Amino acid sequence: MEKNEQLENINVKIINSKAARAYTVKNHYMKTFPNPLVCFGVFHNKLLSGVVSFGLSPSTEQKIKKIVPKINRNEFIEMQRMHISDLLKQNTESYVLGKIYKLFKANTKIKLLITHSGGCKNDCGIVYQASSWMYFGKELCNDFYHTDIGEYKNIISPMRFGRVPKEIIKLGNQKVGEYLFGKGKMINSFRYLYLYPINKGIRSYLKKKCKVYPKDSQVFRKNQKWIKGDDQ
């Protein structure tokens, strides 16, 4: 009963990027906020208690088109950041995502959502599995650098835009991370790809292509908290 009453007091609505950025940078473990196209605020008893932001990265279209070649550019969007307060109960993330699916379906031409799990934390995406996302494989991820002060930094963008001298790049990613961000270490992990089809036709099409959910996380989200895989 307590869980249901809490969910009934949650409201999900669009908020401006300034408010979304402030909340995300303060609370999300990445401490960064990619430029969004739309941001949803999660309000519990009228208090901002979570943010889910969507946008497009340079590789979004390429990944989508490999799986759904005929989809139009205005029919997909990428979930880039999600943080919901640990004070909220189990199942809140799935409940919030369900509300967002309905908002996209009712108000936009979006047919397909894409997101990634893992990367800087080797989390195989338990929350997406619980929310009926479809899984499309993993790839090695060695572009995140964990600083000694606890920040996660991506080295790809600075390298792409010429912020790293070629002689440093030749020395390897660890040296690139040290050059850009000081002491720390590169993270060798996996990046897991998930799609959520809002459109029934695309869902039927993807059912023939999706893979069995992975269960090999070193860490994952459970009851709104990060835990180690060996603590299950």
User: Which of 8, 29, 65, 54 lies closest to 150, judged by CA?
Assistant: 29
Contact indicator for 164, 153 with CB cutoff of 8 Å: no
Between 157 and 79, the more confident residue is: 79
In contact, 206 and 195? CB cutoff 8 Å: yes
pLDDT of 136: 97
More confident residue, 9 or 134: 134
Q: Band the pLDDT of 5: cuts 50, 70, 90.
A: low
Both tokens of residue 106?
């009712």
Average pLDDT over residues 112-134: 88
- Location of structure tokens 């090695």: 140
The answer to whether 39 and 53 have CB atoms below 8 angstroms apart is: yes
Output the average pLDDT for the chain: 88
Q: How many CA atoms lie within 13 A of 92 on its CB side?
A: 30
Q: Which residue has better confidence, 122 or 30?
A: 30
Exposure string of 165-179, with b = 16+ CB inside 10 Å and e = fewer, is eeeeeeeebeebbbb
What is the distance between the alpha carbons of residues 109 and 53, in angstroms, rounded to a whole number? 17
What is the dihedral angle through the alpha carbons of 40, 120, 208, 53, rounded to the nearest 10 degrees? 10
Q: What angle do CA 25, 41, 128 make, to 5 degrees?
A: 85
Question: Which of 103, 60, 80 lies closest to 17, judged by CA?
Answer: 80
Q: For the domain 2-135+193-231, what is the CATH superfamily, name and number?
A: Gcn5-related N-acetyltransferase (GNAT) (3.40.630.30)
* Strand 76-84 to 112-118 pairing: parallel
The residues spanned by each domain of the chain are 2-135+193-231
168-205, pLDDT tens digit by residue? 999 999 999 999 999 999 988 888 999 999 999 999 99
Task: Give me the mean pLDDT over the 79-107 stretch.
Answer: 92
pLDDT of res. 217: 58
